[in-house]
Amino acid sequence: MDKQTIIQVSSISKYYGANKAIDQVSFQVKEGEIFGIIGTNAAGKTTLLEMLMGLRMPDIGNIKVLGHDTLLETDSLKEDIGIHLQSTSLIDKMNVREAMELFQAFYKRKSDLECIIDQFGLAPYANKVVKRLSGGWRQRTALAIALVNDPKIIILDEPTTGLDPQAKKDYWALLRQLKQQGKTIVIASHDMEEVQRNCDRIGVLRKGELVICGKPLTLISELPGGGMTMEAVYMQYAMDVKGVLAYRD
Ligand SMILES: Nc1ncnc2c1ncn2[C@@H]1O[C@H](COP(=O)(O)OP(=O)(O)OP(=O)(O)O)[C@@H](O)[C@H]1O
Measure 66 CA to ligand 1 centroid, in angstroms.
26
pLDDT of 155-171, one tens digit each? 999 999 889 999 999 99
Closest by CA position to 9, among listed 52, 59, 68: 52
Question: What is the pLDDT confidence band of residue 89, given thresholds at 50, 70 and 90?
Answer: low
Measure 140 CA to ligand 1 centroid, in angstroms.
25
ipTM value greater than 0.90: yes
- State mean pLDDT over 218-234: 89
Residue nearest to atom 5 of ligand 1 (CA): 16
Other C-beta atoms closer than 10 Å to the C-beta of 160 total: 23
Q: What are the C-alpha distances in Å from 38 to residues 35, 84, 237?
A: 10, 17, 10
Candidates 3.40.50.1950, 3.40.50.300, 3.20.20.70, 1.10.10.10; correct CATH number of 5-237?
Answer: 3.40.50.300
Mutate to test the pocket of ligand 1, among 45, 51, 239 (most ligand atoms within 8 A of CB): 45
Percent of the chain surpassing pLDDT 90: 73
Does ligand 1 have an atom closer than 6 angstroms to the CB of 45? yes
Measure 23 CA to ligand 1 centroid, in angstroms.
13
Measure 177 CA to ligand 1 centroid, in angstroms.
31
Q: What are the C-alpha distances in Å from 114 to residues 88, 97, 101, 143, 167?
A: 21, 9, 11, 14, 22
Other C-beta atoms closer than 10 Å to the C-beta of 176 total: 13
